[in-house]
Amino acid sequence: MSDDGRIETRCIHGGQQHEPTTGAVMQPVFQTSTYAQPWPAKHTGYEYARTQNPTREALERCIASLEGATEAVCFGSGLAATSTVIQALGSGAKVVCGDDLYGGTYRVFTRVFAKFGVEFSFVDLANADLEEAIPEDTDLVWLESPTNPLLKITDIRKVAERAKQVGATLAVDNTFATPVFQRPLELGADLVVHSTTKYLNGHSDVVGGVVATADPAWAEQLRFLQNAVGAVPGPWDTWLTLRGLKTLAVRMERHQANARRVVEWLENNPKVTRIHYPFREEDPGYAIASSQMSGFGGMVSFVLDCTLEQAEKFCASTKVFTLAESLGGVESLLELPASMTHASVPPEIREELGLADGLIRLSCGIEHADDLIADLEQALAAALQ
């Protein structure tokens, strides 16, 4: 299948072909751990499933097509994908990170890789002087845009320019935007990372991760580590993700439409003191978001004027929104970062970063928008009456 089509077409056909033996239209699940060899050390291109699996390769080709990459390398989780990028650097590497990161990323950087001599600095890349923030000895810049959970927007083009000036690699976590709305490689990034658990799969029934690149040296290193370290997804996980990708474009449009309706409701609620959503004209990231993104998905964060206990009651009172970690599924989810996804971030750092006790993160699903708004209204009444 040609990868020249528009992204809606590539979600379904990108990197895909009918299975050659049977003509099966859908990619089969190759549930095998090893492959027969006609002669010792001579095989047909497949020898062991950690190294090669046709189902996984189909998913990798499709994601590479969507991101405009030459290679995509899949892993058993988003954190496995993240960890593999850091493993490629080695001890003594210097990494500049955005200051608003997924809590699991912050944890693995500071509590795992820091022990092995990797140096991490955390900077507000959305507002920093990039010459100061990214010094000459930087090896990697790790960026989320939009960030988790404050949805801050960083100018990827400018960060990419600075990274190239100092010879650093730029990795962008594109989980929130997806390639439907943002393609970081086209903006100058070297690596694009996803938790495929989220929007790419879209159905909350699988865990996975991927790194995509157009850099041959990085592709070779990632492939080596994928096999050598072995944090690979199983064939059923990759098949489910591949199936989910086929509806990615239509799902993202509905996620976006529902989020905008919810934001309109939040704007008119006196109990809401702040809204984080980059496609509001009032949002500090609006101008940059509009220049590097074609839209936004279902993520909305907002701050309630309430105590931590009231925020917890609000989250526990919804009926359509499910109180759960993760995001990007067809069902709407909400969570309280202070108690959940960012509980591993020390309280004093959460306060410094603006992660208030009343900060709520929504992942708006594809239900009817009126039902989502009614659910938030009744939960607010229950928590703040």
Give the domain-ending residue among 245, 267, 288.
Answer: 245
Do residues 354 and 336 share a domain? Answer: yes
In a domain, 106, yes or no: yes
- At 23 the pLDDT is 87
Mean pLDDT, residues 292-321 taken together: 96
In a domain, 41, yes or no: yes
Give the domain-ending residue among 245, 274, 297.
Answer: 245
Could you tell me which residue, 226 or 25, shows the higher pLDDT? Answer: 226
The domain that contains 218 carries what CATH number? 3.40.640.10
- At 3 the pLDDT is 57
pLDDT tens for each residue of 162-218: 999 999 999 999 999 999 999 999 999 999 999 999 999 999 999 999 999 999 999
Q: Which residues form the catalytic set?
A: 50, 102, 173, 198
% of the chain surpassing 70 pLDDT: 99
- Name the residue range of residue 58's domain: 7-245
Number of domains comprising the chain: 2
pLDDT tens for each residue of 227-257: 999 999 999 999 999 999 999 999 999 999 9
Strands 191-195 and 169-173: parallel
Asked if residue 149 has a cis previous peptide bond (ω within 30° of 0), the answer is yes
The mean predicted confidence, pLDDT, of the chain is 95
Q: CA angle, 31 as apex, 30 and 37 as ends, to 5°?
A: 75
Pairwise CA distance, residues 126 & 156, whole Å: 9
Pairwise CA distance, residues 284 & 342, whole Å: 23
Give the domain-ending residue among 190, 212, 245.
Answer: 245
In a domain, 352, yes or no: yes
Amino acid at 239: W
The domain that contains 334 carries what CATH number? 3.90.1150.10
pLDDT at 36 over 70: yes
